[in-house]
Structures are given as C-alpha cells and as structure tokens.
C-alpha cells in the first residue's frame, strides 16, 4: 500500500469514526421524551402510593424500629414445631409440583401448535390461561372453603395454578423441537402416538425436568404463604406469631424458611446442571 492509498484509508476511517461520534438527535430526543414520561408517571403516583412517608422506615419511634429490634433476637424455643411445619410445607410443594407436572404434560402436548390441531390448541390454551391467571392464594381460599383447613387445600391450590404455568413452559419447549426426527418416525408408517413418544418426548425431557425442578423451588416459597389463609404449612404459625406481636418467633420462622429454601435451591441447581 503506497502513501496515497494509506492517506485515503486513514481518511475513510476518520470519516467513519466521525459518523459514529456524531450526535443522533432524533434518537436522543426519543429517549428524553421517554424519561420525561416516566418521571411524570412517577410524580402522579407519588402521593397515592404514599412514597412521601418513606421517613417512617427509619424513624426510631415507628413500627419498623420495633420490628427490627425484635427480629434481631429470634426465639428458637419452638424450633421442632417450626421444622415440622416447614417439612409439611415442603411436602405440599412436592405433591403440588408432581400433580401439576403430571397433568401439565398432557395439556402441554394439546397446546403445542406443531403437534396438535388448531381446534384443540385454542381451548386448551385458554383453559391453561385461566389456570395461570388466578393466583395460588386465591385458589387456596377457594379450596379451604371446599375441603377445609389443612395441607390438602394448599396442595390443590399449587396444583391448579402451576398446571397452567407448566403447560405453558412445556408447550414452548415442544414447539422448539427439531421436526426431522418426528418426520423420520412418520415416514416409517408409525402412528401419531409413536411420533410423540419416540420423536418429541426424548428431545424435551431434559428441559422439562429442569423446568419442573425450577417450579418446585418456586412452589416451596409459594407454599409458605398459603398457610396464611389456613392452607397448612409454616405460613399459618408465622401469621399467628406476627398477629400476636411475637416478632422474635416470627424472626426464627423466617430464618428456618430462608435456610430451607436456600438448601432446596442449591440441590435443585445441581440437578439442573446435571440434566442440561
């Protein structure tokens, strides 16, 4: 490359850099407008959301000061009871997850556009939308009224709500499969059921297992809340401790819940890494 070519090459680079550094006023004005819009929305919601009372979080004469004072001295006197109720919560999550996966697989296959006809996909998806849209706490209130207080109401609440979530996640995995193995099985004259068993299921099993483990982690956390409405587990004694101003016991219960959930998260993360 001679001197003239070198100078031209350098000039082209300089022009390209200058174009990159040139302010993009239209793009910048759009971002400024979006920031102003967000600021206006936050300003409108400032007083209705009572953000102006944020100083109460740090006042030494308010409830937060009393909470933190008692929470820093947890009372583990009833630790065996806490552990028993925490295990009950985990058992609820186990059964809620198992039932949601068991029934969710069928609805996932019915909701997958690449293996089910449109007249089946539409109603299956709408049914799962309804199951997913209603929070498990609402289902827990319903089942407490239907079957009474206790873990069964919590299991059913987790089952119905998570069935909608599982079917959504599983169906998306099915729709992302490689269709060539399915077409190969179809070319042998195999039936529809054989296509699913030998062409679809082997491709999605690892991801399905990983998603099921993730939902189990989530269900353990959700099950701790369901006890507040009488659906069994550790949530009920936590709510009773809080209502009776026994914040030291409530603190101990929270510690038990955090340790249990953390342990389950670590174990399931290892299992997911093995499966994927």
pLDDT digits (tens, 9 = 90+) for 209-239: 888 888 888 888 888 888 888 887 888 888 8
The verdict on 128 and 220 lying in the same domain is yes
The verdict on 197 and 260 lying in the same domain is yes
* pLDDT given for residue 163 in this prediction: 92
Task: Say whether 110 sits in a helix, a strand or coil.
Answer: helix
Tell me, yes or no, whether 24 lies in a domain.
yes
Tell me, yes or no, whether 114 lies in a domain.
yes
Tell me, yes or no, whether 69 lies in a domain.
no
Model confidence pLDDT, tens digit, residues 116-148: 788 888 888 898 888 888 888 888 888 888 888
At CA 265, angle to CA 256 and CA 106, rounded to 5?
120
pLDDT surpassing 70 at residue 21: no
DSSP state, 195? I
Residue 208 · residue 173 · CB < 8 Å: yes
Residue 112 backbone dihedrals phi, psi, to 5 degrees = -90, 120
* pLDDT given for residue 276 in this prediction: 61
Residues in the chain: 276
Tell me, yes or no, whether 18 lies in a domain.
yes
The verdict on 100 and 18 lying in the same domain is no
Lowest mean pLDDT among 2-11, 62-71, 102-111, 113-122: 2-11
pLDDT surpassing 70 at residue 8: no
Structural domain count, the chain: 2
pLDDT surpassing 60 at residue 171: yes
Q: Give me the helices (H) in the chain, please.
A: 3-21, 25-44, 63-71, 79-110, 118-133, 136-147, 151-175, 179-187, 192-194, 201-226, 234-243, 247-275
The verdict on 158 and 92 lying in the same domain is yes
**Domain containing residue 84:** 74-275
């Amino acid at each position: 490359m001679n001197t003239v070519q070198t100078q031209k090459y350098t000039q082209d680079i300089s022009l390209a850099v200058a174009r990159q550094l040139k302010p993009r006023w239209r793009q910048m004005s759009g971002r400024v407008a979006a920031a102003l819009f967000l600021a206006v929305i936050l300003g409108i919601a400032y007083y209705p959301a009572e953000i102006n009372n944020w100083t109460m979080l740090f006042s030494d004469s308010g409830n937060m000061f009393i909470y933190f004072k008692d929470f820093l001295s947890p009372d583990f006197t009833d630790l065996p009871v806490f552990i028993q109720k925490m295990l009950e919560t985990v058992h609820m999550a186990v059964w809620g997850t198992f039932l949601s996966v068991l029934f969710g697989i069928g609805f996932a296959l019915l909701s997958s556009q690449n293996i089910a006809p449109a007249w089946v996909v539409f109603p299956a998806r709408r049914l799962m939308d309804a199951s997913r849209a209603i929070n498990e706490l609402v289902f827990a209130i319903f089942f407490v009224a239907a079957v009474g207080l206790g873990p069964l109401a919590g299991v059913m609440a987790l089952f119905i709500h998570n069935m909608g979530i599982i079917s959504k996640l599983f169906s998306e995995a099915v729709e992302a499969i490689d269709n060539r193995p399915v077409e190969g099985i179809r070319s042998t004259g195999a039936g529809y059921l054989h296509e699913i068993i030998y062409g679809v299921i082997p491709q999605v099993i690892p991801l399905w297992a990983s998603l099921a483990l993730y939902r189990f982690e989530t269900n353990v956390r959700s099950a701790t809340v369901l006890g507040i409405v009488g659906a069994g587990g550790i949530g009920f004694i936590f709510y009773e401790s809080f209502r009776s101003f026994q914040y030291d016991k409530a603190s101990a219960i929270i510690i038990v819940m955090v340790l249990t959930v953390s342990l389950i998260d670590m174990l399931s993360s290892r299992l997911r890494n093995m499966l994927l």
